[in-house]
Amino acid sequence: MVRTCLYKARWIQSTQVNRKFSGRHSRHPFLSCFCFENWIFGISAAFQYLKHIDFEMFRLSGGRVLLRSVNTIGRRTYAEAAGDFLKLQFALPHQTLFAGSKVTQVNLPAQSGQVGILANHVPTVEQLSAGVVEVFEGSSSKKFFVSGGFATVQPDSTLSINSVEAFPLDSFSQENVRSLVAEANKNASSSDEKVAAEAAIQLEVLEALQAALK
């Protein structure tokens, strides 16, 4: 089931959940034999499920969500001239969203907080949380909700983003997300340990998505 795959995927990624339900793996046999292939399948299945079927059946998992204010300047953004551009490579396992496209700025949902990248940014590697990648092209921008991933800035102002899944933010319904948050809150108080843990995971991602849709 999609829901089981999502729980497996998030268990591997979240040390917070590991601590919350610490103990011998034998106490939780459904968590004991996970592999990288399960993680890939779980995240991919989750986003396909979210995009193409009724939101009332939605189950989504992702990395830890850090809701912080956007720093659009970035950690170090010292463009040499107004005409400088980033060269953006934004790739998924099954699709390339940007292939060396010239863009002016990209905001990333890094695990350390939101980071803004401009041309001539200091070379860096960032691990991404589930959240919004915003790409600025001139006076317009495009927003994508990603499951997590990595972003690398090269000395030549090339920004490479790799994620398992990403979808346009406007493909999600705020009303349906609200109803799912309510459902997850209800399940979080379940006496069933697995249901409660899964609901807590869903809440992390749903709350990030809900905040992005405001």
What radius of gyration do the chain's Cα atoms show? Answer: 18
CB 147 within 8 A of CB 47: yes
Render pLDDT for 144-168 as a digit per residue (tens, 0 to 9): 999 889 999 999 999 999 998 898 9
153 and 193, same domain (yes or no): no
Tell me: do 57 and 120 sit in the same domain: no
Residues 160, 187, single domain; the answer is no
- Tell me what the pLDDT averaged over the chain comes to: 72
| 67 belongs to a structural domain | no
Identify whether residues 50 and 124 lie together within a single domain. Answer: no
Q: Among 209, 108, 206, which residue's Cα sits nearest to residue 159?
A: 108
pLDDT band at 103 (very low <50, low <70, confident <90, very high): very high
The pTM for the full model equals 0.58
Residue 207's pLDDT band, with cuts at 50, 70 and 90, is: confident
Give the pLDDT score at 7.
Answer: 43
- pLDDT, tens only, 164-179: 889 899 989 888 888 9
Domain count, the chain: 2
31 lies in a domain? yes
Q: What is the pLDDT of residue 152?
A: 96
Q: Please indicate whether residue 56 or residue 142 has the higher confidence score (pLDDT).
A: 142
| Residue 90 sits in the same domain as residue 158 | yes
Confidence of residue 45 (pLDDT cuts 50, 70, 90): very low
> Domain with 108 in it: what CATH number?
2.60.15.10
In a domain, 18, yes or no: yes
Q: Is residue 72 part of a domain?
A: no
Q: With respect to residue 70, please indicate whether it lies within any of the assigned structural domains.
A: no
Neighbours of 106 (CB within 10 A): 24
Residue 73 located in a structural domain? no
**In the predicted structure, residue 126 carries a pLDDT above the cut 50:** yes
The answer on 128 and 57 residing in a single domain is no
Contact 160/140 with Cβ under 8 angstroms? no
Alpha carbons within 13 angstroms on the beta-carbon side of residue 201 total 33
Q: Do 110 and 160 lie in a common domain?
A: yes
- 75, part of any domain: no
The yes-or-no verdict on residue 19 having pLDDT over 70 is: no
How many of the other CB atoms lie within 10 Å of CB of 157? 20
Q: Give Cβ neighbours of residue 109 (< 8 Å, ≥ 6 apart).
A: 66, 128, 129, 130, 131, 132, 133, 146, 208
**pLDDT the model gives residue 124:** 94
Q: Are residues 163 and 90 located together in one domain of the fold? A: yes
- Asked whether residue 93 is domain-assigned, the answer is yes
Work out the percent of the chain whose per-residue pLDDT is above 90.
36
Q: Provide the residue range defining the domain that includes 96.
A: 86-169
